Chain A
């Protein structure tokens, strides 16, 4: 069955530290990959997405992610985090399911930034 794994459940960093959140997926076909962010009390927002082409994808707010097909990974990175990056981060993959497709989410990584 298709799945998305985020191994870091809670990451704590100081401001200006570099960030890398891991994401691995289990799916043999063509994938579309996403990172979503959910700030405290707010709805899910799309950070970035990968469909094809350049495996290094740049998103909003200085985030980027790299698709490594051989490792089934799509890790999220940011060179220097800010306190405002405190949020829950979800990796997601689009999979085909009979006549339609759906996005399934990883379990999420809670990011806490110390001021």
Chain B
């Protein structure tokens, strides 16, 4: 298995909703990442998990809450989002976070906040 799987592919949520994005990989990678990508813009790093521990938080608002239950799973919990949070949320993984061999990206969750 050489893929990063993200669910759901599309999500529409209201500003008072609570939802979660899920990411899964079975490549034995020990670093996992959340990126946010707005239309026609590059991906922007949100969080880095290394060996299931949060190692980088790029000053992301607390309405985004990451969780790494085990080495294969990465969640992003969403609460009280704003319309400007609408974007493509990408999950990625790599062998480790110290020496990159490049990331493997998932296909993303397209989030719309109404």
Using a CB–CB cutoff of 8 Å, the interface residues on chain A facing chain B are 32, 34, 42-46, 49, 88, 90, 94, 97-108, 110
- Closest residue of chain B to A106 (Cβ to Cβ) is B42
- Within the complex, the shortest CB–CB distance from B56 to chain A, in Å, comes to 6
Using a CB–CB cutoff of 8 Å, the interface residues on chain B facing chain A are 31, 33, 40-45, 48, 50, 55-56, 90, 92, 97-108
- If the complex has contacts A43-B90, A44-B90, A107-B41, are A101 and B100 also in contact, measured as CB distance less than 8 A? yes
Enumerate chain A residues within 8 angstroms of B90, measured Cβ to Cβ. Answer: 43-44
Contact A100 B55 (CB under 8 A): yes
How many A-B contacts are there with CB distance less than 8 Å?
A: 60
Enumerate chain B residues within 8 angstroms of A88, measured Cβ to Cβ. Answer: 40
Enumerate chain A residues within 8 angstroms of B92, measured Cβ to Cβ. Answer: 44
Enumerate chain A residues within 8 angstroms of B103, measured Cβ to Cβ. Answer: 44, 46, 103
- Within the complex, the shortest CB–CB distance from A76 to chain B, in Å, comes to 15
Contact B107 A100 (CB under 8 A): no
Enumerate chain B residues within 8 angstroms of A101, measured Cβ to Cβ. Answer: 97-100
- Within the complex, the shortest CB–CB distance from B59 to chain A, in Å, comes to 13
Contact B31 A43 (CB under 8 A): no
Enumerate chain B residues within 8 angstroms of A97, measured Cβ to Cβ. Answer: 56
In-complex Cβ contact of B105 among A43, A106, A110 (8 A): A43
Enumerate chain B residues within 8 angstroms of A44, measured Cβ to Cβ. Answer: 43, 90, 92, 103, 105
Contact B42 A108 (CB under 8 A): yes
30 contacts between A and B (CB under 8 A): A34-B100, A34-B102, A42-B107, A43-B90, A43-B107, A44-B103, A44-B105, A45-B105, A46-B102, A46-B103, A46-B104, A49-B101, A49-B102, A94-B100, A98-B55, A98-B56, A100-B31, A100-B50, A100-B55, A100-B97, A101-B97, A101-B99, A101-B100, A102-B45, A102-B56, A103-B103, A104-B45, A105-B42, A107-B42, A108-B40
